[in-house]
Structure formats: structure tokens, C-alpha cells
A = this chain, B = another copy of it.
Amino acid sequence: MPVTIRDVARASGVHVSTVSRTFSAPHLVNPETRTRVLSTAESLGYRPNRAARALITGRTHNLGLIVADIANPFFPPLIKAAESQARQRDYHVFVADTNEDALVEEELVQALAKQVDGVLLCSPRMSNDHIEQLRREVPLVVVNRLVEGIPAVVMDVAQGAKAAIEHLVGLGHRHVAYLAGPRGSWTNRELRRAATATARALGANLTVLGPHQPTETAGVGAAEQVLRSGATGVLTYNDLMAIGLLEGLHDRAVKVPEQLSVIGIDDIALSRLIRPKLTTVATPTAAAGRAAVDMLLQPDDDRRTTAQVTLQTELVVRDSTGPAPRRTAASRPPSATPVGSLKE
């Protein structure tokens, strides 16, 4: 039923190899023959079978793209950009969702390995050792993680966290908190590290809260914890948690930014649609997707030199941050039990 190269060959009176060459090495075939073959191929509706081609060339012209959670608004722009970039280079992309599960991640890479020319591993949750091991089965580019010897695209979130904490302290906040993301996340470690270091350098007090799932729900649930901490300014692992936090605070009648300042990370589309508009650290996700695809598709020689690229982040100040309140006690709802004392 499906029309093959052989059908085209028969119909145009040439050998299959000539048909093959018409598509894969046109300059090797007589222009006259070429047009004849092309037109019969066209009229027969012939489409090359990429799997068969892959079998012999070893190149599938497919890519794998593995993310923690497709529905997390951070990823779609990245997926879209990566897919678009890949398709421009005549590649198709498998997209898979791990549900934040490191084991699933690993299985997926292995399952995809034989079927793709490379895998984009976005915000992986698995250990570095596992990544290095998988690297031997299939070319890999990791996004949002730095692993020795593995090509990677990362955002300079440390710089972003620094800017965020500086922003808060500059507004007079002396006690800030970092609402942490999931355990396996490199970004989470970076943020935590940079936030802590910056706070210390500025003589401010920083509390780390978490870890948490990087979801809005987790943010809602963390509101209580944040209030208890006594912090007047919060940096969160991502915008989703920040937005959840905003909701949780709203439910408790805590005013943002009057009583509490909140900063997210990522600058997802949502963050400027909610009220108050979220102050956040913008990460160039689309650019990351494109860059990662480019790295994966680069000839081997170049790959070493461009092994790791860092994209700049930028603090976007909107309406969820403001001057520190005078008396922090006011920022707590009556029901909240204060824990620990606040250093002013």
C-alpha cells in the first residue's frame, strides 16, 4: 500500500539507487533524469521512509525532549522554541514528561536513545552520575544544570537571585526567605546558594523554607510557613510557587507588597497577568530551547568549544515588592504563632 522507492524506480524506468540519489545526492544524477524521477515521485505521492534511512545512515533526524512537567508553564515556551528550531533543521522531536520523577527520566532517555540523534534533558532531577552514564548511550544536552563534561545550557539564576535579594534589602527588608524548590534541582541549589551568600554579604538574615514541589499548590500551602518565618521578603524557586504564595497570602488577608514582598523566578506569561503583578527574575527560556537544539545538532568538533552556555537573567520589578513594613508583627495574621525571633 505505501509507495516506496521501488515503485518510483519502476514507474520512472530507473534503478532504485538512482531514485535514492535523486533525493539524497541530487548533484550525482542527470538533471533530466532527476526531474523525471521527481515528477513521478510527486505524482505517486512518494515520501521517503526515515526509519529505513536511519537504519543505514545511523541518523534518525529525531530529537528527544524530556521535561519534568509539560503543564508547568515554564516549559511550553521552551518546548515550542526547541521544536521550532529543530524542525527548521529538518528534525522532529519526541516530547516526554517525567512527572518530576528521576526514575522515569532515566527510563525515558534509554527508551528514546535508539530512536533519536540526541536528547535534551530539561531541568533533570536525576543525579549527575546518572547523567554522565546516559551520556554514553546517546548525545545529551542538559538544560538548567551544570554537569562536568556534559554540554549544557543554563540560566544565570545565581545572578538573578543576587539581584533579587539586593532588591529586597535595598527596600529595607532585613529578614528574607528563600522558598525552595524540589530536591534534585540544580537551579534550586544555585538559587539557595546565591541567595544565602548575597544576604550574608549584605548583613541580612535569610531563612530557607522547603523543599517544595515547584507548583502553585505548594506555594499556597507554604503561605503559613512563610508568615511563621517572620521574613518580610520572599524569593521563590519559581513564579508558579510565587503565584501560589500570593494566593495563600490573599486568603489570609496579608497585603502584598505592603506587608510582604514576593519575588518569583522565570517570568512566565502569567506573572504579569495576576494582581499584584509579580516582580520576578526573567529567564530566557525560548532562547535556551533554541541554544540547546543548536548544541545538539552541532558537528562534534565544535561541541567541545561551546560545551556550556550561560544565558543572562534579568530582574523585572513589578508590583509584588515594596518597602519593608515598619513593624513586622503587623504582617502576621492574628492566628499565626510566631516562631523564632526577628532580628531588626
Contacts and interface: CB of A to CB of B under 8 A. Distances in A.
Interface of A: 2, 45, 47-52, 54-55, 60, 62, 69-71, 73, 75-77, 79-80, 83-84, 87, 92-97, 99, 110-115, 137, 216, 243, 247, 269-270, 273-275
14 contacts: A47-B110, A49-B114, A50-B114, A51-B55, A51-B115, A62-B115, A70-B79, A75-B76, A87-B96, A92-B112, A92-B115, A247-B273, A270-B273, A273-B274
Contact of A83 (B45, B87, B97): B97
A270 to B, nearest CB: 6
Nearest to A61: B115
Contact of A80 (B71, B83, B247): B71
The 5 tightest CB contacts between A and B, nearest first, are A95-B95, A51-B51, A70-B80, A71-B76, A275-B275
B97 A95 contact: no
Contacts of A97: 80, 83-84
A77 B112 CA distance: 22
Given A75-B76, A93-B96, A95-B95, 8 more contacts: A50-B114, A51-B51, A62-B115, A71-B76, A87-B96, A92-B96, A273-B273, A273-B274
A196 B108 CA distance: 48
B243 A273 contact: yes
Contact of A216 (B62, B216, B269): B269
Contacts of A95: 79, 83, 93-95
Contact of A92 (B73, B76, B94): B94
A83 B265 CA distance: 27
Copies of this chain: 2
A324 to B, nearest CB: 25
Contact of A94 (B45, B93, B137, B270): B93
A92 to B, nearest CB: 5
Contacts of A52: 51, 55
A201 B323 CA distance: 55
A60 B95 CA distance: 16
